[in-house]
Amino acid sequence: MCGPARATLSVFPGATFKPGTCQSSTADGQKFLTLQLGEQTTNPTTNNGKAYLQLMLAGASNGHVTAFWKGKHWAGTLVSIKHKGKSATFVVKADPPGKGKATGSYTC
């Protein structure tokens, strides 16, 4: 586990998700990465207005992002990711389809 971590997501301009942690592991030869930033509540619709971003990555590019900002929720499937040491930039396609794409970045 490493941190402090921070991330941005273009669907929430000006938002920086922090503080957080990055946790990486390997199982059956496959790498996994989980970022959790901000505060997650039990409210799956608005997260009680708290900022939260989670990125889960399995292997080189199979992943998912879910985020809450000021009571709004956005989720998507990873399209691409470019790693640069302990940071990366990524592109995510909205779930459900038709709600566009987002770009983002993180640093651990």
Write out pLDDT tens, residues 51-89: 999 999 998 779 999 999 999 999 999 999 998 988 999
Better-predicted residue by pLDDT, 97 or 43 = 43
CB count, 10 Å around CB of 66? Answer: 18
3: DSSP letter = -
> Is residue 96 very low, low, confident or very high in pLDDT (cuts 50, 70, 90)?
confident
At residue 42, the pLDDT reads 95
For residue 97, CA distances in Å to 6, 62, 78, 92 come to 26, 17, 13, 11
At residue 97, the pLDDT reads 73
Write out pLDDT tens, residues 14-47: 999 999 989 989 988 888 999 999 999 999 999 9
> Is 98's pLDDT higher than 80?
no
Instruction: Give the span between the Cα atoms of 84 and 16, in whole angstroms.
Output: 19
pTM above 0.85, yes or no: yes
